[in-house]
Amino acid sequence: MNLSPIDRRQFVSEKKLCYNCLRMGHILSGCRSKHTWRRCRRRHHTLLHLEETNSPPGPSSGIAVSSAVAEAGKRHQTFLLTAIVNVVDNFGIEHSARALIDSGSQPNLISQRLAKILRIKGSKANISIQGVSKASETVRESLNVKIRSKRSDYQCSMNFLVISKFPAELPTQFIFTESWKTPQHILLADPEFNKPQPIDLVLGIEHYFTFFTGAPLIRLGPDLPQLVESVFGWMVAGSAPVEASRVETTSTITICSSVVSLEESMERFWKTEQLQMRDGYSPEERRCEKLYTASTDRDETGRYIVRLPRRPDFEARLGSSRESALRRFELLEKRLEKNCALKAEYHKFMQEYLQLRHMRLVNTDEKEPATTYYLPHHPVFKESSTTTKLRVVFDGSSKTSSGYSLNESLCKGPVVQDELLDLLLRFRTYEVALVGDVEKMYRQVKLHPDDCALVRIFFRFSPQDPVQVYELCTVTYGLTPSSFLATRTLLQLADDEGSAYPLADSALRRNFYVDDLIGGAQSIEGAKKLRSELSALLSKGGFDLRKWTSNRLEVLSGLAEDQLGNKSSLHFDSHETVKALGVSWKPESDTLHFDCHIQTPSDEEVSTKRTALSNIARLFDPLGMLAPVIVCAKIIMQEMWMSACGWDVPLPESIRKRWMSFWAELPALEHYAVPRCTFLPLAANIEIHTFADASIAAFGACSYVRCEDATGKVQIALISAKSKVAPVKRVSIARLELNACVLASHLHHRVKKTIDVHVDASFFWTDSSICLHWIRATPSTWKTYVANRVSEIQHFTDGHVWNHIAGVENPADIVSRGLSVPEFLESSVWRKGPAWLSLPRSSWPISTPAEIKENDVMESNTAVLTILEHARCNEIFIRWSEYRRLVSRVAYCLRFIRKTRNRLRGIITVVDSSDILPEVLTTEELAEADDCLVRLAQQDGFAAEIKDLKNGKQLKKQSSLRRLTPFLDGKGIMRVGGRLNLANLPFQSKHPALLPRDHPFPRLLAEHQHQILLHGGGRLLLSSIRERYWPLQGRMLVKSVVRRCFRCMRSQPVAAQQQMGQLPACRVTPGRPFAVTGIFCFATKAVHLELVGDLSTQGFIAALRRFTCRRGVPEHLHSDNGKNFEGAKNELLELFGRFESEQEQSRISTACAEQGITWHMIPPRAPHFGGLWEAA
């Protein structure tokens, strides 16, 4: 009878008793009793009745969303797929865990509790996962965990994201299954699937289809769930009737929004914005290069045959991928069947693959190699393509049963081509531009037959046909090393065949960006010859160069129509992502343009750091032609970081307004264009002028080409620019200017080394006199910071060509401060540089900066940070500054509330004067007000602890209240636990109410109690307060109250300190021990004790003689001479009385004189003269 109804039902189920009569031998359906429970009219025993409840479910946290659903006529509990599996920890020990198999979850998830048990070393992650109701959590760790089945030999390593915890238990209530007819031979994956239990794992869609065997479903009966066979056993799926009218349903659909893609986008953005200095190859890259050189071969047609660069542990990494790829193909096929147009394009692409012999059908009688990999594939649309809108991409990142993908088992290889910045810089030097595209470049490189088994796919052209296996025979999209293999093959072709085609040989090495030719020549004849040589050289390797485009139509004469490019503009970016801002070339006008694909956000749209950074990463300006605009985005980005706002939290209003304004102005850049070619034909003199400047927010550099021909015509053109934001740690403006000079030296070095043009002279300009003085001196002259950067500048430039320019004429000033788009479009200084640059050299500014030392420029800027801290307490504690007034006002408020409620309830029907006029507050009302204030103060300071106590949980380990073992009393006040329950003390003394630190209420209480105690000390005050309350850091509180009390401060004045007199000569003159003696030696403060028989003069003289025999005769003897021994014992009074008599003093003096001792008496009532013996 002490069991709950649910426990009683479970007991009945275990004992196989009838639910209606509680007898053995039959079940409910065979019970002959006609009785039903009179309340609900259902057939069950009275003791087994469950009360229907409409209370909402308890709070839960996690990514899945738990909700309560009540629908008339539908009382069913839905079973999600659960299984008990074994997970292997770091030591190889298996642990049982309950897993939810969920096709609605993208990632695999593991609870933090289980992750701690496994003790597997994880890797850092920054991934945001979101549920169906936008409940989100950021994951910081991922683990690779091996899962093993309890019912079969199945095992698999999977990557799991670690989340704090999962939502409510599954199922949400106990389900009775004694009447279900489950087959005897069935082994359930989760034997206790009907009992509410927590979830430890979520196995998502990645391996979902590999879990099921494909066996027919087993129906347990009408209106009952069905059984699905899996590698973990038979799982229960479906719904079953329940008796409660309110059913909780749990949806675990989880969307994984990885920050990895954002990080990759930001990485590409910063690589574009920075001047990358190419270093040597890494050991892995050198290994790839060596493998390529040793294994690459050519067939009879001249095509290259390459091997996939495998990692050393390739065989151990790669697991089985067949089942996963097959299931994904089935999903793809269903998608194609729903879209006839997509299906036609997809089949056309795959048919082309077969016709070009880029893949082959694998015969069913062929023996499968020991190591194979099956690639899932999917369509990708490229609207910018003029030939193939749809491209089939093969997913080499799909995980195998080992948890590793093919891409993770292969080496990426080094980058062997020049960066896009170098190609564009050279592109701007040619008078005649020439652009082309290698047709299907990847697929012109054949794979070695031994590697074709690693690129198998499933496909069929009709659902009625059996699924067939194909092997790809060429390098394909979607594999990590594909780009390296294809671009390295172009260089290999230049090595093998380039000697006969010198122009094409140089172009293959320096003017190709992946499969795009971005080159040209200085004349039409040169461009034609280059085009001819490139076509001939590439054909030697089986490549076909097409889509020819030029700014001069004469270059394209003689080409077939299908060999010409038919686009009005060409985009310079190989990535498939849609750029918000990208650079393109229009051949007709021979100008560079900037395309904007921007959707202007509305004012109501929420801007977060994630969305803002994602949009910034889509800005593409490798040449830096828009540097004054892009630097504004960088500055805003830095402000986002310094504001410490979360990834998905709305931006602060000030930053949001600036960001929205910046983003809305970008579309106007579509009207901005710059000439592609920056050089005059037949220029007699070519100069590069590089400018540098810095502000407190950023620093930058820009390079201009100045060309002058034989006639004196001058042309100025911006060729490149770069910018950087200032470091978060504030440094002086002079040092930022020096960093700008470093950036300018790197930019000039890059431009001059890249372009194929002879430069007659280079000039560097800065508006900082300090930097000019630093650069012109020997680096060792300066401190480390300045010396290192000056040395770097002098390494790339000649220190004597740096010049001074006025700040208003410096175009780099625009880069360092940034411009809005309207201001940028109107700036002529940015386009052409300062006005005097087009004049003869004699008209250029000349200035000689004064001698300046580094210490003269070390600025000390005062940074003032203003923090508006909102009150963390209830406003009621701030309205009154006295405890009495605060309590009385709250008491009156509570009285008003109580009487108003009584009046509304009809308890008070007659209104008398006591209801209107304020009457004297009673003790009970004041106590009630005090309790109310205590609860409010505790809610301000201990909200989390109160919530845990109300939910029956233990306090967190980090809580400062944990050692006080607090509890909530009947009034909701949190009190100290302690061990005084059996003490004969009042309840409030045994368990005082807790008060938070740094809160107004404890201070008001302490000040009030201090006045009641008539300004007693701190210990008394603390003891008095602790009779009813326990303020945290109570000693600090009472010390502060007593110290601030004006009356206490006035009643405790500080005593004046008397200045000490000079020490006597005998105290500071060196001498032998006991030469000057009082009670003890003056020199070394050694004490000599003598026992005397009585207090007579003879006794003293005898003691003196013994002393002199022992210590030698002293030269001076000091003693007291005052009546300052009142209250001492009678013997001492008698002794000192005798010393004071003239007769005794005479006798003592005579005895001392005979010994050669000078006797000194100190003044009366001056004990400080005998400080040494007084201290002894």
Q: What is the pLDDT of residue 666?
A: 86
DSSP 1123-1176: S--TTS-HHHHHHHHHHHSHHHHHHHHHHHHHHT-EEEEPPTT-GGGGHHHHH-
Q: Packing angle between helix 524-540 and helix 482-497, nearest 10 degrees?
A: 110
CB atoms within 10 A of CB 238: 17
Separation CA 682–CA 32 (nearest Å)? 113
Separation CA 151–CA 84 (nearest Å)? 10
Separation CA 231–CA 229 (nearest Å)? 7
Contacts of residue 71, defined as CB under 8 A and 6 or more positions apart, other chains included, come to: none
| Strand bridging mode 304-306 / 446-447 | parallel
802-804: strand order across its sheet: 714-725, 698-708, 685-694, 761-766, 802-804
Which residue numbers in the chain have pLDDT < 50? Answer: 52-74, 133-134, 244-260, 574-580, 850, 854, 857-871, 909-911, 913, 916-917, 1080, 1122-1133
Q: Packing angle between helix 609-616 and helix 260-273, nearest 10 degrees?
A: 40
Contacts of residue 429, defined as CB under 8 A and 6 or more positions apart, other chains included, come to: 677, 678, 679, 755, 756, 757
Separation CA 421–CA 434 (nearest Å)? 17
Separation CA 843–CA 534 (nearest Å)? 47
Tokens representing 693 are 């400047």
Total-model pTM? 0.57
Separation CA 893–CA 261 (nearest Å)? 58
Q: What is the pLDDT of residue 836?
A: 92
Q: What is the pLDDT of residue 315?
A: 87
Taking a C-beta distance cutoff of 8 angstroms, is the pair 632, 662 a contact?
yes
Separation CA 576–CA 391 (nearest Å)? 11
Residue type, 1000: P
Q: What is the pLDDT of residue 288?
A: 94
Q: What is the pLDDT of residue 1091?
A: 83
Q: What is the pLDDT of residue 424?
A: 92
Separation CA 1066–CA 988 (nearest Å)? 67
Q: What is the pLDDT of residue 1156?
A: 63
DSSP code, position 777: S
Beta-bridged to residue 96, according to DSSP, are 86
Q: What are phi and psi of 846, to 5 degrees?
A: -125, 130
Which among 445, 255, 455 has a CA at the least distance from the CA of 369?
Answer: 455
Q: Domains in the chain, start-ordered, CATH in brackets?
A: 5-48 (no CATH), 65-260 (2.40.70.10), 296-568 (3.10.10.10), 609-841 (3.30.420), 880-1050 (1.10.340.70), 1065-1175 (3.30.420)
Q: What is the pLDDT of residue 266?
A: 57
| 3-state SS assignment for residue 571 | strand
Q: What is the pLDDT of residue 245?
A: 40
CB atoms within 10 A of CB 552: 19
Cα→Cα distances 659→335, 635, 662, Å? 40, 10, 5
Cα→Cα distances 417→231, 483, 485, 512, Å? 49, 10, 12, 7
Q: What is the pLDDT of residue 258?
A: 41
Spell out where 319-441 has E strands: 359-361, 377-381, 390-394, 432-438
Tokens representing 448 are 């070695």
Tokens 């201001």 map to which residue? Answer: 823
- List alpha helices for 876-1028, DSSP H: 876-879, 883-905, 913-916, 923-941, 943-950, 987-990, 1000-1012, 1018-1025
Q: What is the pLDDT of residue 22?
A: 75
Which among 629, 583, 618 has a CA at the least distance from the CA of 423?
Answer: 583
| 3-state SS assignment for residue 567 | coil
